[in-house]
A and B are shown apart, each in its own frame.
Chain A
Amino acid sequence: MSATFTNHVPDFDALLSRAVDEGLKAGGRVLQPAVRKRYKERGFKGGYTTGADATGLTIDSIALSDPVTEDGVRVLRVGLPSGIRQPGDSATVGEVALFWELGHTMRNGVRRRVETWRPVAEESRHQVAAAFEKRFAAVMNGTARKPGPRPGA
């Protein structure tokens, strides 16, 4: 008589990692359009002097990073990649957004600040968490659709 023992821990580890990463992506896909929507509500002029904090290029540039491990924690960032700028602009769309988010002083001494990212993230944190949980559970339960091209794509 014999018994066979199979170690499924590596399989579980791989499944757990995939579930966390897909959960993070699902959460990011909630925040990304929420920020875009808030920007769109305010218009598309962009720059420091126009009174608007985003251009169409800003909105189109909002991107999700791939999940990475930082200090032992899986992290996915939603933000503006560096180096993207309007033709003729000295500042990148990320720099313009940063100065609007955290406040800046114009040459005439006027200080201005319009926050977008932080309040949107705060307002949508429950939806982000819910999207993570839903996707995480689907992957762990084996009911998630495998990543791949969408029908018709």
Chain B
Amino acid sequence: MSTATSTSLHTMLRDRLLSGTFGTGAGTVVTTLLGAGNNARLYQNGIPDGAAYPFAEMLIVNDATTSWGDGIRTTFDLEVTIVDRPRTQISRARNIADAFDNGMVGFTFAGADAGFLRITDRSRSQMPQGTGDVDREVVQIRQLFSGFMWSQMLARTYP
């Protein structure tokens, strides 16, 4: 795990999401619903045509330097969208959201010379049922995990 590159950052956050569990006790790991490893249906560069349900997409948005920290400190939002079908599978989508919460809330990464990252906030909202030509059987849950980081990739460029 590291923040040395954008790719390693995305990999770290994706692995963390996929490590989450839902349910009581030790819980059930979310990979039982999304698959594991590179084949897990947690996409970070667009959703492939014909992707099987359920699937999820992750996207880092609002990545910006803050007013202090000489441009090295950044804040960001990790947006995760869970999509399932038919709508009777809403519980399955919620289980995935629970697991993502479990994996991300309070997540702190502090690696020696590899940067620092902390998730400080989260929110979850369910999209309303589709109207018009939107598939009414699709359920969609959107989560936002907000955090900040001192990334290795930016520190490296600091004189």
Contacts and interface: CB of A to CB of B under 8 A. Distances in A.
Interface string A60-92: 000000000000000000000000000001110
A91 B131 CA distance: 6
How extensive is the interface on chain B, given as a class? Answer: 20 to 34
Interface in B18-71: 47, 49-50, 57, 61-62, 64
Interface string B116-135: 00000000000110111111
Contacts of B134: 48, 99, 104-107
A11 interface: no
Interface residues of A, number: 22
A58 to B, nearest CB: 14
Main secondary structure of the interface of A (DSSP, over half): mixed
Given A95-B128, A109-B50, A103 B133 contact: no
B127 A91 contact: no
A102 B135 contact: no
Given A102-B142, A103-B140, A105-B138, A90 B132 contact: yes
Contacts of B49: 110
A14 to B, nearest CB: 28
24 contacts: A47-B132, A47-B133, A48-B132, A48-B134, A49-B133, A89-B132, A95-B128, A95-B131, A96-B132, A99-B127, A99-B130, A102-B140, A103-B81, A104-B134, A104-B138, A104-B140, A105-B85, A105-B134, A105-B138, A107-B133, A107-B134, A107-B135, A109-B135, A111-B83
